[in-house]
């Protein structure tokens, strides 16, 4: 099984109270020459390498299928009805825009989330020959949100069998709930049962059990609690869980996304014996009590990294390029493991 988590400038999501799908200025971003200094092949010992091509991705879902790398990412409200964007690479270094998942959002999404402009933060996972695409629909500053699902037999837009089939809603939240149903991240436990972590602000990171082969919820149990900052505005989101040598590692993005050079996003991690937790950081502090071991943060003009996913030992994330006016870009960094089994990445 290969998993991720994860063209024209996609929408940046902004502000406290949850990541939001608002374009920050399409014309301005389109005019910026992007030049990320990260890459897949030929990585130096200290970090990653140069990427080239179309790198304007936000909340990248990284996947490797056959001989091709894919990044699915947050949509642009002015392009293809704001649908999830697709980019491809033959070598993981040079990236090309390959269109959008759909030309129009499913009608039920618009009905479920009035005012939704674009789809956010996709997740890709393959199971038994089927690709599952989870995505978020919401509006800025509210937890009236939904995580939807589509399936396909291939990720390749040039394959004649390529067709994303709408499977409807997986998890919803309303203003009566204490959680926010966005930012899905899927992991399987040792028995092959899928679990979906999700959440943004409100009560933090939550989790529900899914079921194969439909990829929908297994039951209507109250979502489990995985991570919480324990103080307003509870700026934690974008969960992604990686299994490594029998342990599970929950990566989350914290603080402020989507503010260009003023972004303070950073990625931290916790460790558990099971996907359901409890997760603790390297010092033993529970992630439910604002714990988290720092993985990556702002470094010079590479500002506010986050929105992470992992595939084939590579972490994908977005950051804001201070040398390009704060435009968001794709970064790919090798995920390394130390002698104590903790992960790290380097620019």
Predicted pLDDT of residue 167: 98
Residue 338: closest CA among 271, 285, 264: 271
Residue 35 lies in a domain: no
The CATH number assigned to the domain holding 196 equals 2.115.10.20
Residue 12 lies in a domain: no
Does 91 carry a binding-site annotation?
no
Q: Which domain holds residue 327?
A: 52-344
Does 202 carry a binding-site annotation?
yes
Alpha carbon of 163 to those of 46, 90, 106, 136, 229: distances in Å?
40, 21, 14, 19, 40
Residue 232 lies in a domain: yes
- Contact criterion met (CB below 8 Å) for 9 and 56: yes
Residue 62 lies in a domain: yes
Structure tokens at 167: 């499977």
Q: What is the DSSP string of 83-114?
A: PPEEEEESSSSEEEEEEES-SS--HHHHHHST
Structure tokens at 179: 């959680």
Distance CA 201, CA 93 (A): 33
Does 340 carry a binding-site annotation?
no
Does 201 carry a binding-site annotation?
yes
Residue 7 lies in a domain: no
- What total number of domains does the chain contain? 1
Residue 330 lies in a domain: yes
- Contact criterion met (CB below 8 Å) for 131 and 124: yes
Q: Which residues contact 89 (CB under 8 A, 6 or more apart)?
A: 40, 53, 68, 69, 70, 71, 95, 96
Residue 3 lies in a domain: no
Does 183 carry a binding-site annotation?
yes
Q: Which residues contact 220 (CB under 8 A, 6 or more apart)?
A: none
Does 182 carry a binding-site annotation?
yes
Predicted pLDDT of residue 347: 87
Residue 26 lies in a domain: no
Does 319 carry a binding-site annotation?
no
Does 82 carry a binding-site annotation?
no
Positions marked active-site: 59, 237
Count CA atoms within 13 Å of residue 8 on its CB side: 16
- The rounded average pLDDT for each run of 10 residues, N- to C-terminus, in the chain (347 residues) is 36 39 31 33 52 97 94 97 97 96 97 96 98 96 96 94 98 97 98 98 98 97 97 97 98 96 98 98 98 97 97 96 96 96 95
Omega of the bond prior to 213 within 30 degrees of 0, cis? yes
- Residue 284: how many CB atoms within 10 A of its CB? 7
φ, ψ dihedrals at 27, nearest 5°: -65, -40
């Amino acid at each position: 099984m290969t998993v991720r988590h994860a063209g024209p400038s996609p929408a940046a999501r902004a502000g406290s109270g949850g990541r939001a799908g608002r374009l920050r200025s399409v014309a301005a971003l389109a005019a910026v020459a992007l030049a990320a200094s990260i890459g897949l092949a030929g990585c130096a010992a200290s970090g990653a390498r140069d990427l080239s091509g179309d790198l304007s991705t936000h909340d990248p879902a990284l996947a490797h299928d056959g001989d091709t790398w894919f990044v699915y990412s947050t949509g642009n409200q002015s392009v293809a009805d704001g649908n999830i964007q697709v980019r491809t690479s033959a070598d993981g270094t040079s990236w090309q825009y390959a269109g959008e998942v759909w030309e129009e959002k499913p009608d039920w999404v618009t009905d479920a989330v009035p005012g939704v402009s674009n789809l956010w933060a996709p997740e890709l996972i393959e199971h038994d020959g089927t690709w599952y695409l989870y995505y978020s629909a919401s509006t800025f500053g509210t937890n009236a949100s939904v995580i939807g699902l589509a399936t396909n037999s291939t990720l390749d837009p040039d394959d004649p069998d390529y067709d994303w089939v709408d499977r409807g809603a997986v998890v919803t939240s309303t203003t009566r709930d204490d959680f926010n149903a966005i930012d899905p991240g899927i992991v399987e436990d040792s028995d092959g049962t899928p679990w979906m972590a999700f959440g943004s602000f409100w009560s933090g990171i939550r989790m529900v059990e899914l079921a194969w082969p439909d990829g929908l919820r297994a039951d209507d149990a109250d979502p489990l609690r995985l991570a919480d900052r324990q103080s307003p505005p509870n700026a934690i989101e974008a969960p992604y869980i990686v299994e490594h040598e029998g342990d599970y590692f929950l990566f989350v993005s914290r603080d402020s996304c989507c503010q260009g050079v003023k972004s303070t996003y950073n990625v931290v991690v916790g460790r558990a014996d099971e996907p359901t937790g409890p997760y603790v950081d390297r010092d033993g502090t529970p992630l439910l009590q604002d714990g988290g071991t720092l993985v990556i943060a702002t470094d010079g003009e590479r500002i506010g990294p986050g929105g992470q996913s992992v595939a084939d030992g590579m972490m994908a994330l977005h950051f804001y390029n201070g040398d390009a006016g704060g435009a968001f870009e794709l970064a790919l960094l090798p995920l390394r493991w130390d002698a104590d089994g903790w992960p790290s990445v380097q620019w």
